[in-house]
Amino acid sequence: MRSAVRSAARLCLAVEADGPAGYSKDAGEPVTVADFGAQAVLLGVLATEYPRDTVIAEEDSRQVTRHGVEGEVAAAVSGVLGRGVSDDEVLAWIDHRGNGGLRTWAVDPLDGTRGYLRGDQFAVAVGLIVDGMAVAGVLGCPRLELSGMQGVMVWGGPGMGTYVEALAGGSPRRIAVSTVADPGRARILGSVEPSHGDPEFLQGLIDGVGLGGGWVRIDSEAKYAAVAAGIAEVYVRPRNNPEWRERLWDHAAGIAVLTGAGGRVTDLDGAPLDLTTGAMLTRNRGLLATNGAMHQAVLSAVAEST
Ligand code: AMP
Ligand code: MG
């Protein structure tokens, strides 16, 4: 899957060079040819290598044909695979969902599409869930700089450790969360999009915990990679919108990568995430991902503020 994520990330950058158009999905979220193409690449590999495994992925072919971009998607996929693929083949890969297997792959082919369109951060995210546990994850972050590398892939999981390597190639290097336990030095990450993040709540939390390391807004699951690599300590997803439930594909890869690096992830009440409820995390609201050392202080402040 590391090799598949590398190809998917390459596809995103190739489409970007053409000045990608943002199309609107049913719920108004933007989507691009790169979202569809990256999903085809990733699910094509899953369909071949692990055909039975269940797949929970963000995009579906209905949106591709609705916008009439199947030809463009097939061309982008052909470009990275280095061989011709038909529109039908690509549409079938996008809709591949496995065959009832007990292992589940959670796939967000292009997380942070708004960031991608703005020229900011985005991530290709693939997480593997076994028995309700995020056991392995790969995050391709073409615009993230970590450990002196520009454009990285961060991968790993509990029991495996977590590693960073340049998307352009090179050997993996082990990474770990920071040991910062002093709130005055802790750095907090949130969404760029105000509607995804509730800036007012986050500011209240920063004041309540006395988080003094600065607030950095970045798009996508790249936030998990940043905490895993020790360049930030706290990532919070508030629960401002009562209707919103977190999506499995926005977190599965990140949870595996962060726990493999020594971090911790719960919901905002401190409860473990239930990853067995399908695409939506219906049993949890809000989310807290930290280096571990900062976890309890943030949970206590949330409990006091609500
Ligand atoms: P971010 O990169 O932090 O802005 O998060 C991107 C993700 O936010 C998308 O992949 C969506 O699944 C998710 N999202 C969309 N609407 C909402 C919402 N109202 N509240 C929280 N997250 C959302
Ligand atoms: Mg997403």
Mean pLDDT of 139-157: 97
Assess whether 104 carries a catalytic annotation: no
Q: pLDDT tens digits for 232-262?
A: 999 999 998 889 999 999 999 999 999 999 9
How far is the CA of 8 from the CAs of 44, 86, 111, 178, in angstroms?
Answer: 11, 18, 12, 29
Q: If DSSP codes are grouped into helix, strand and coil, which group holds residue 156? A: strand
* Catalytic member of 32, 54, 104, 113: 113
Q: According to the model, what pLDDT value does residue 26 have?
A: 78
Tokens coding 51: 């055909």
Local confidence band at 19 (pLDDT 50, 70, 90 cut-offs): confident
> Of the residues 196, 216, 285, which should be mutated to test ligand 1's pocket, given the most ligand atoms within 8 Å of the CB?
196
Strands 188-190 and 215-217: parallel
Closest ligand to the CA of 243:
1
CA of 184 to the centre of ligand 2 (A): 31
Q: What is the mean pLDDT of the chain?
A: 96
Report CA(160)–ligand 2 centroid distance (Å): 25
CA of 130 to the centre of ligand 1 (A): 25
Ligand that comes closest to the CA of residue 239: 1
pLDDT of 290 over the 90 cut: yes
The pLDDT of residue 159 is 96
* pLDDT for residue 20: 83
Task: Look up 108 and say whether it is catalytic.
Answer: no
Ligand nearest to the CA of 124: 2
Residue 285, pLDDT above cutoff 80 = yes
Query: Which residues are CB-neighbours of 214 under 8 A, at least 6 positions away?
Result: 187, 188
| Cβ 261 vs Cβ 229: under 8 Å | yes
Q: Which amino acid is at 25?
A: K
Residues 25-32, mean pLDDT to the nearest whole number: 88
State whether residue 139 is helix, strand or coil: strand
pLDDT reported for residue 28: 82
Percent of the chain with pLDDT over 70: 100
Least confident stretch, 86-95, 110-119, 127-136, 197-206: 197-206
For ligand 1, atom 9, the nearest C-alpha belongs to: 112
The pLDDT assigned to 69 comes to: 97
Ligand 2 mean position, distance from CA 97 (Å): 18
Residues in Cβ contact with 238 at an 8 Å cutoff, skipping those fewer than 6 apart: 197, 198, 201, 202, 268, 286
- Res 305: pLDDT: 85
What residue's CA is closest to ligand 1, atom 3? 191
Strand residues in the chain grouped as ranges (E): 23-24, 30-31, 54-57, 104-111, 123-130, 133-146, 149-157, 161-166, 173-175, 188-190, 215-217, 234-237, 264-266, 287-290
